[in-house]
Every structure is written in structure tokens, then in C-alpha cells.
Chains A and B, each alone.
Chain A
Amino acid sequence: MVNSGPSQPGPARPGVDADSRKLEVLVGRVLFWGGLLSIVIVLTGFGLHLLAGAARVNHDVVAEVTGPASGRGQAPGVFVSGAQIIQGLGRRPFDPLAIIALGLVMLLATPVLAVVLAVPAFAGIRDYRYLVISLVILGILAAGFLIG
């Protein structure tokens, strides 16, 4: 990138073309709104949990997180897969902790979504190097979720 043209303060920057700037703004918005929505869902789940009479569950959970290591993955209130979360949401009366888990998964998906959206954006501006780099990141993330 070459610095050309007159200096301009603020968002319009020399050396950064308008398309790249548009992508930055898009990624910023995805991170902001994705993060906010996730936290709202987490707090909603937490509120419903408190309304549902949290005392007994809290007792079990605190005993688990502070207790001696037990069979991890099977702990009370822990969700380890999307299928389990959906099951928890479908249960009647539904499990408020499943709503929290949904919010947490959305939070973790937010930066990933930003990269997903960068793929067509890089294709649009014919920056194939960075199209490939974005795909490589998504591949690494997918590998992590699969081995995890």
C-alpha cells in the first residue's frame, strides 16, 4: 500500500482503499452487535435462572466448580455440545442454563462470523491472498472444534 494523495484525518485514510475501509466497518459492527446480543441472551438466561428458584442449582454448581475434580463434562449445568443446548431449550420446564449456554456459544461465534463475512468481501475486491488467509483461519477454527 502506497501513501498517495493529500492527508486526510479521520476514517478516510490514504493508502486504505474505500472497499477495505468498508470491510473494517462491517467487521467492527459484527463484533459490537454480536457481542451485545450474546451478553443480553446470557443475562436473560441468568435472570430466568434466578426467577426459577436458583438456590438448589446454585448449591450443586458451586459444589461442582469448587469441589474435588469429578467426572468433568458430566457436571450439573454444563453443556458440551449444540445438541445438548437444544435439548435443554426444548425441555419443559426449560432449563435457563441452556439459554446462558446459547448466549455463550453466540459470543464465541461472533469473531468467527466476522471472518466468515470477510470471505465474500475479499472475493468482491479480488484480494485472493486474503480470501485464502480467511479460509485458512476458518479451517483452523473448524479443526479445533472437531478435535475439541
Chain B
Amino acid sequence: MNLDPTTFLIAILLTSIAAGGTGAILGIGGGMLLVPILTMFFGVQLHYAMGASIVSVIATSSGAAAAYLGSGIVNLRLGLFLATATTSGAITGAYLAGVAPVRVLETILGLVLGYSAFATFRQINVELPGELPHSPLAERFALGGTYYDARLGHDVTYRATYVGRGYGVMYGAGVLSGLLGIGSGAFKVLAMDYFMKLPMKVSTATSNFMIGLTAAASTGVYFARGDVHPLLATPVAVGVLVGANLGTRVMMRMRNTTIRKAFLPVLVYLALSMLYRGLGLHLW
């Protein structure tokens, strides 16, 4: 796009608002949408796009985590325990992002977007887990707790299981976050909800707390490398923050998943575009 510089920055602000809103509605975060959009439509270099995106991830996560911590759904100890995996993964990923060829990063981003599109199709399981196997690690680190479920109208007591597997997936989520400049919240929720069998609400809330900490770890590396550009990061971070707040409000009023499904083609399109770029198939 050949835009006048000021128009360019305004266009990025508006695009970031849209991406933040769409990300909140789809529950995948704005960063994963913004990185491909900034590189494909605005011609931003991949490293600057990732640097701006990771900053927006911290901003959005801080706000969301603050709200969840206030209402008592976050399991802080669980979050800290697993953050040892995500932060070390993030540093690994951020380091690799500096040495990996752009096309490899594009291919991985395409695959992650594709997985997110697939995961969005699946219905969220709201049932509570039944009898679970005993986990010595969960015992040792007191990885359980109680929260008040407003929808069910009573307290729910839970305990983590398969902690080793969950920890491994968390490390992977951290690597992806650092490698691609995204929050990778979907993978953190996957680790807690699917692998560790924790309640969805606890997983989502705790993941939000961890996203900020994980992103802070990789942002340090991005920053020192000169990939965080102040003038690009400002419209992106502010835009995604505003968009995410608007998107969350829209989502609260949504009665069904129709709107989510309407956004799915966007996700599929971005996934395929990134894969084509990464694999060097120049179709458009």
C-alpha cells in the first residue's frame, strides 16, 4: 500500500481496533490476526509486526487479568507454577525468532492460525470434569482451588491432573508466543483445560495472567534487538486494547455463536495466506 505516512499510522490504528475486537470475539487475541495483516496488507517487516504485536499482548492481558484477579477466578499459584514453563519457552522462542528465516516463521504462523480456526469450530465444553487420576505433582505444589461459579450458582472445587503433560504444553505455548509475537492464549487454555482437566473459567482467567508475564519475557528480547518500534507499537497497542474492550462487550451480549462463525473465514483466509507466503507459493 502506498499511503502518506500519517494516513498509514491512522490506518494501522483502525486495523488494530478491528483486530482486537475480532480477536476478543473469537477468543484468540488480536496479535495472531495483526501480524499477518500488518505484513500482508501494510508491508510491515515481520520482525517489526511481531514486536508491535507482543507489546499489545501485554497491554490487553494486564487489563483482562486485573479484572479476573479482582473477581477471584485466577489461580495465582497455578499461574506462577506454570509461568516458569511459559517464560522459559518464550525466551527460547524469542531467541529463535531472531535467527529463523522469515519464511519459516510465516509457515509456523500459518499453521498456528489454522489450528486456531479448527479450535474455534469445536464447542467449548462447559461440563465439570468427573473423577480424575491422582497427580503427585499437583499435590506437592497445591495445584487446585475453589471458585464461585456465577452461572452454576455454587462453589466449584477442582484439582489439576496430568501436571507433567500440561507443563510440557505450556513450554510449547511459551515458545510459540516468543517465536511469533503472539499471546498464544489458546494453547495455554488447551494445556489447562484439556490436559490438566481444570475448569474452563479457571483456565481462561489464569491464562490471561500468564500471557502478560510470558509476553514480558519475550518483549525484553525483542526490545533489545530493536524490533519494538515506538511509532508502530503505539497505534497497535492502543488499537488492540480499545478493540478488545469493545469486542468483549459485544461478546457478553451475544446469545449464540453465529457471530463467531461469521469471523471464521477471516481466520481461514489469514492461515492459508501465511502458509502460501511461507511455502513460497505466490498465488496473489
> Count the A residues whose beta carbon is within 8 Å of the partner chain — how many?
78
| A93: chain B residues within 8 A (beta carbon) | none
CB <8 Å contact, A42 and B237: yes
Tell me how far the C-beta of B248 lies from the nearest C-beta in chain A, rounded to whole angstroms.
15
A14 to B145 alpha-carbon distance, docked (Å): 9
A99 to B237 alpha-carbon distance, docked (Å): 15
Given known A58-B9, A78-B226, contact A39–B146 (CB-CB < 8 A): no
Given known A78-B229, A80-B223, A97-B230, contact A108–B216 (CB-CB < 8 A): yes
CB <8 Å contact, A72 and B217: no
Tell me how far the C-beta of A97 lies from the nearest C-beta in chain B, rounded to whole angstroms.
5
CB <8 Å contact, B77 and A130: yes
Interface string of A103-126 (1 = CB under 8 A from B): 011011111101100100000000
A108 to B223 alpha-carbon distance, docked (Å): 10
CB <8 Å contact, B212 and A31: yes
CB <8 Å contact, A69 and B148: no
Q: Which of the candidate stretches B39-47, B128-136, B250-258 sits at the interface with the other chain?
A: B39-47
Closest to B80 in A: A133
- Of listed A3, A74, A140, A144, residue having the most chain B CB within 10 A: A144
A134 to B90 alpha-carbon distance, docked (Å): 17
Interface string of B212-230 (1 = CB under 8 A from A): 1101111111111111111
| A1: chain B residues within 8 A (beta carbon) | 142, 144-146
Q: Is B274 an interface residue (CB 8 A)?
A: no
| B241: chain A residues within 8 A (beta carbon) | 39
Q: Which residues between 79 and 93 of chain A lie within 8 Å of chain B, taking CB atoms?
A: 79-81
Chain A interface residues (CB < 8 Å from chain B):
1, 3, 7-11, 13-16, 20-21, 23-25, 27-29, 31-32, 34-35, 38-39, 42-43, 45-46, 49, 54-55, 57-59, 61-62, 64-67, 69, 72-75, 77-81, 97, 100-101, 104-105, 107-112, 114-115, 118, 129-130, 133-134, 136-137, 140-141, 143-145, 147-148
CB <8 Å contact, A43 and B234: yes
Tell me how far the C-beta of A101 lies from the nearest C-beta in chain B, rounded to whole angstroms.
5
CB <8 Å contact, A16 and B220: no
| B220: chain A residues within 8 A (beta carbon) | 108, 141, 144-145, 148
- List 5 additional A-B contacts (Cβ < 8 Å) besides A137-B83, A140-B91: A28-B69, A32-B63, A35-B58, A78-B226, A140-B84
Tell me how far the C-beta of B181 lies from the nearest C-beta in chain A, rounded to whole angstroms.
13
| B269: chain A residues within 8 A (beta carbon) | none
Interface string of B98-132 (1 = CB under 8 A from A): 00000000000000000000000000000000000
Q: How many A-B residue pairs have CB under 8 A?
A: 229
Tell me how far the C-beta of B219 lies from the nearest C-beta in chain A, rounded to whole angstroms.
5
- Of listed B58, B147, B218, residue having the most chain A CB within 10 A: B58
CB <8 Å contact, B44 and A66: yes
| A133: chain B residues within 8 A (beta carbon) | 80-81, 84, 141
CB <8 Å contact, A75 and B5: no
CB <8 Å contact, A100 and B234: yes
| A20: chain B residues within 8 A (beta carbon) | 76-77
CB <8 Å contact, A80 and B224: yes
Q: Is B282 an interface residue (CB 8 A)?
A: no
Q: Is B55 an interface residue (CB 8 A)?
A: yes
Closest to A138 in B: B87
Q: Which of B9, B70, B74, B80 contacts A130 (CB 8 A)?
A: B80
CB <8 Å contact, B146 and A147: no
A136 to B87 alpha-carbon distance, docked (Å): 10
Interface string of B158-176 (1 = CB under 8 A from A): 0000000000000000000
Given known A13-B147, A80-B224, A111-B212, contact A59–B5 (CB-CB < 8 A): yes
A140 to B220 alpha-carbon distance, docked (Å): 11
Tell me how far the C-beta of A28 lies from the nearest C-beta in chain B, rounded to whole angstroms.
3
